[in-house]
Structure 1
Amino acid sequence: MAADEIAAFLLGSCSSLRQFDVYIFGSTLNGIGEDIDILVVGPSDEALSQVKRELQKAEERLPLHILYMEPSEARYTDFVRREGCIPLAQLCPK
């Protein structure tokens, strides 16, 4: 499955993701690898609990590896830039 198809599936089936900054990174962006690396950046609150439930269901269809970070942690580690993360919304066909 291509990165844009993954983005469309996740954003379509996990409505709570729209409350977060969500990225795809790793080998999937190059069309290789067997797992799909996803970064979810947002606060640790009830919305995070909801998105985790939705992503757990998505994991039944996709081999997801999900990393969760709070915004301050993402800024401190500069993870998005260092890992070349691409926002799911940027990949999702309109």
Structure 2
Amino acid sequence: MSASKVAIHLINNCLSLKYFDAYMFGSTLKGVGRDIDILIVGPSGRALSSLKEEMLIASRELPLDVLYMLPSEAIQTDFIRQKGCIELTTLAKKR
């Protein structure tokens, strides 16, 4: 499945994503690899619990490897820039 199709699938099936910044990174962006690396950045709490449940259901269909970070962690590690993460919403537009 292409990166854009994965992004569309996640956006359509994980409704709690609207409360988070969600990115894809890794080999899937290049059309290779076996797992799909996803970064979720946002607050902890009830919305995160809901999202984790939704991602678990999505992982039954897709080989997801999900990393969760607080916004402060993402900033401190510069993870998004260093790993070349692309927002799921951007990928979803690249049909």
* TM bracket (short chain): over 0.9
Q: How many residues align?
A: 94
- Structure 1: 4+ residue segments shifted above 4 A: none
Tell me the SS of whatever aligns to 1:34. coil
Q: Which position in structure 2 is the counterpart of 1:88?
A: 88
Q: Which position in structure 1 is the counterpart of 2:68?
A: 68
CA distance, structure 1, for counterparts of residue 65 and residue 29 of structure 2: 14
Q: Which position in structure 2 is the counterpart of 1:24?
A: 24
**Structure 2 spans left out of the alignment, 5+ residues:** none
CA distance, structure 2, for counterparts of residue 31 and residue 92 of structure 1: 15
Tell me the SS of whatever aligns to 1:33. coil
Percent identity reads 54
Q: One-letter code of the match for 2:86?
A: I
Q: One-letter code of the match for 1:48?
A: L
CA distance, structure 2, for counterparts of residue 31 and residue 77 of structure 1: 26
TM-score calculated relative to the size of structure 2: 0.97
Across the aligned residues of Structure 1 and Structure 2, the Cα RMSD in angstroms comes to 0.9
Cα deviation, 1:17-67, whole Å, max 9, x if unaligned, reads 111000000000000000000000000110000000000000000000000
Q: 1:34-53, aligned counterparts within 5 Å?
A: 34-53=34-53
Q: One-letter code of the match for 1:39?
A: L
CA distance, structure 2, for counterparts of residue 79 and residue 53 of structure 1: 24
CA distance, structure 2, for counterparts of residue 91 and residue 39 of structure 1: 14
- Residue 7 of structure 1, CA deviation: 0.3
Q: Which position in structure 2 is the counterpart of 1:78?
A: 78
TM-score calculated relative to the size of structure 1: 0.98
CA distance, structure 2, for counterparts of residue 18 and residue 86 of structure 1: 16
